[in-house]
Amino acid sequence: MSAENAYIVNQQANGRDLGRFDLSELHAMGHRPIVRHRMAHFARMAVPAIGLVTVVSLSSAQAQANLAAAPAGACSGDNGGITLPPGFCATVFADNIGHARHLVVAPNGVVYVNTWSGTYYRNDTPPPGGFLVALQDRDGDGHADIVARFGQTRAQGGTGGTGIALYDGALYAEAGDRIVRYPLPAGGIVPTAAPDVIVSGLPLTGDHPMHPFAIDARGALYVDLGSATNSCQAENRMPNSPGYQPCTELNTRAGIWRYDAKRTGQHFSPAERFATGLRNGEGIAFDSAGRIFATQHGRDQLRENWPQFYSPQQGADEPAEELVQLEQGGDYGWPYCYFDLSRNKLVLAPEYGGDGNTVGLCAEKRAPIATFPAHWAPNDLAIYDGQQFPAAYQGGAFIAFHGSWNRAPFPQGGYNVVFQPLADGKASGPYVVFADGFAGAIEEPGQAAHRPSGVAVGPDGALYITDDQGGRIWRVTYRGPATAAVAAAPAPSSRAANSAPGSAVPPEGIHPDAGAQAASAPASLPPGVSPDEVALGSRVYRGQVASAPCVGCHGTNGAGSPLGPDLTSGHWLWGDGSLDSIKTTIADGVPHPKRYGAPMPPMGGAELSPSELSAVAAYVWTLGHRGGG
């Protein structure tokens, strides 16, 4: 085996690096039908490989022994830093594996994960090896002791992806503009043969270049093609820019496309569109009756782009994130409509003549079956069909919320996993936050410790959760009474007091960092600018004046996020870094970013007076000159 094709396998349980070795030594997995998120089918499947029986027996026995050794309801450790309802426990199944996106769990408990790289992650350096990862817990202690990378590497031009699924003894994965299929060998957990291309030519441009997908029991492959724009405007994310009429983007984006998982050599075209009007339907799953569900990321920037219709608070609180039931030919509204939480209905988007109240053609679109707070960003979906959790969780939906950026200047939200009860294809009760605390002390894209990105149910009923910020995977198990009701996780103790729902705070808010200027006065000031002007600029930047949303993209510390550049580095993408050039960039906006995905409207979408504009430009200047230069 050549060094280039060798796999790095880590013995994580005791910290030993086993180095490179022949993967045929790993336990076997036979070829049989597998469908992502439909683990109930596995009980009816024949298991021809004796090696698989051995692995399942040993792992299950060890896992049961570990559970029996612990008192009911007691969890060892700190649940990997997250909070869960009573009776639920979590272990860190794996850590630091790269930007982990979606995952799937095979009948023998082997976990397969797709990881991603590229512009969204500031083109950072991924771990060595392929972007696909196979993980196995051989001793049943809740931690993967085998971590094997495979597939295309960065050196081979790969960037990884989001989508991944198992079907008919093969692993399917998104790789750039393709969905490929790897046959799984009988003598190992990692493919050794080159993959077949199932679909190629999937769109990679614009705001949503990922291709999550799921495969049903008949082999129909449903792939999400998110929109290229926020709301099909002539100028994407720019104030008062009208929407294209008609929105021809819908021909090739913002919907679900259907292909045949059993056929190779298929090419993307508009003809395979299954459903439309979904801005970004990253989570796709099936229930036991064969119904298809998908999540929808609601649109951004109602306030920033249409301040005449929406207050800053409305911009933070609208529109809803959605869970929809997919129907062939269904139209779910984007870009013409969005779901207004305060009115509990679809309303007309301002790009198409809406004013926050008008319904118009949206009365004819398909409404969601459940809704969630604005901008939380639902990145994946799993219908629970395991037997380990209480009966109240059967058939309900676990949704991974990646976390918001577009709620600034108000506290961000999401960064959690929620549970939505379902019955007969409809919501049967309110959602609860099932797992919380992923972000740590600061819920912001650039400073969150972890951001949930994928969820999957294992054959033993455990729930797996991925994180694409720190590269962590949690394994959640249950050891309480089977009759327990659905319950919410306690709020994390590390969260700032004013970001917890229902906290008693003064009308003006707490603003824990309000004294930051006094604590860290700028090392230098722009020529002719007073400290008072910089202090005003700091308040503008933080949204305390004019409800400016700067921190949503650049972070409260100015160090940037996947959406906006680091303002503290001293490197300027636009202009020469002078006070005048910074002021011009803020005033004019950045409609076509060089390296980041989110265009900036003029003045960030806020309504700034000349003095406020000058002040925030001066503050940004000081951020870039903290070294005294």
Based on the fold, state whether residues 436 and 580 are members of the same structural domain: no
Residues with Cβ < 8 Å from 367, sequence gap 6 or more? Answer: 339, 345, 346
Q: How many CA atoms lie within 13 A of 517 on its CB side?
A: 19
Per the structure, the count of domains in the chain is 2
| pLDDT over threshold 60, residue 63 | no
Q: Are 476 and 590 in contact (CB under 8 A)?
A: no
Q: Are 421 and 408 in contact (CB under 8 A)?
A: no
Average pLDDT over residues 610-619: 88
Q: Which of 434, 465, 499 is the last residue of a domain?
A: 499
Q: What confidence score (pLDDT) does residue 627 get?
A: 59
Average pLDDT over residues 572-582: 87
- C-beta pairs of 156-159 under 8 Å, 24+ apart in sequence: 158/117, 158/130, 158/131, 159/116, 159/117, 159/118, 159/131
Q: Are 518 and 532 in contact (CB under 8 A)?
A: no
Dist. CA 277–CA 605, nearest whole Å:
26
Domain that holds residue 527: 516-623
Based on the fold, state whether residues 139 and 250 are members of the same structural domain: yes
In this prediction, residue 19 has a pLDDT band, given cuts at 50, 70 and 90, of: very low
Dist. CA 334–CA 280, nearest whole Å:
10
Nearest to 174 by CA among 209, 134, 142, 144: 209
Does some domain include residue 17? Answer: no
Based on the fold, state whether residues 237 and 316 are members of the same structural domain: yes
> Three-state SS for 628?
coil
Q: Are 126 and 118 in contact (CB under 8 A)?
A: no
Based on the fold, state whether residues 589 and 450 are members of the same structural domain: no
Q: What is the reported pTM?
A: 0.80
Strands 473-478 and 88-94, by their bridges, are antiparallel
Strands 266-267 and 196-200, by their bridges, are parallel
| pLDDT over threshold 50, residue 438 | yes
Average pLDDT over residues 204-230: 96
Does some domain include residue 31? Answer: no
Does some domain include residue 37? Answer: no
Average pLDDT over residues 362-382: 98
Dist. CA 383–CA 248, nearest whole Å:
33
pLDDT in tens, 296-314: 999 999 999 999 999 999 9
Dist. CA 26–CA 29, nearest whole Å:
9
Look up the CATH number of the domain holding residue 593: 1.10.760.10
Based on the fold, state whether residues 447 and 584 are members of the same structural domain: no
Based on the fold, state whether residues 282 and 220 are members of the same structural domain: yes
| pLDDT over threshold 50, residue 522 | yes
> Three-state SS for 19?
strand
| pLDDT over threshold 80, residue 139 | yes
Name beta bridge partners: 255. 225, 276
Based on the fold, state whether residues 569 and 488 are members of the same structural domain: no
Q: Tell me the CA end-to-end span of the chain in Å, nearest whole number.
A: 53
Q: Which of 499, 526, 546 is the last residue of a domain?
A: 499
Least confident of 66-80, 321-335, 412-426, 433-447: 66-80
Dist. CA 435–CA 473, nearest whole Å:
13
Q: Are 301 and 605 in contact (CB under 8 A)?
A: yes
Q: Are 34 and 106 in contact (CB under 8 A)?
A: yes
Does some domain include residue 13? Answer: no
Based on the fold, state whether residues 488 and 523 are members of the same structural domain: no
Residue 42, CA distances (Å) to 166, 183, 613 in order? 12, 18, 61
Looking at this protein, which amino acid is placed at residue 61? A
Q: Which of 448, 468, 499 is the last residue of a domain?
A: 499
Based on the fold, state whether residues 104 and 171 are members of the same structural domain: yes
Task: Choose between 309 and 74: higher pLDDT.
Answer: 309
Q: Are 104 and 122 in contact (CB under 8 A)?
A: no
Based on the fold, state whether residues 297 and 235 are members of the same structural domain: yes
In this prediction, residue 537 has a pLDDT band, given cuts at 50, 70 and 90, of: confident
| pLDDT over threshold 90, residue 255 | yes
> How many angstroms from the chain centroid is the CA of residue 350?
27
pLDDT in tens, 324-360: 999 999 999 999 999 999 999 999 999 999 999 999 9
Q: How many CA atoms lie within 13 A of 47 on its CB side?
A: 17
State the DSSP string of 446-458: TT-S--EEEEEE-
Look up the CATH number of the domain holding residue 264: 2.120.10.30
> How many angstroms from the chain centroid is the CA of residue 306?
26
Nearest to 455 by CA among 429, 405, 483, 420: 420
Based on the fold, state whether residues 302 and 191 are members of the same structural domain: yes
Based on the fold, state whether residues 154 and 243 are members of the same structural domain: yes
Dist. CA 476–CA 461, nearest whole Å:
9
Looking at this protein, which amino acid is placed at residue 381? L
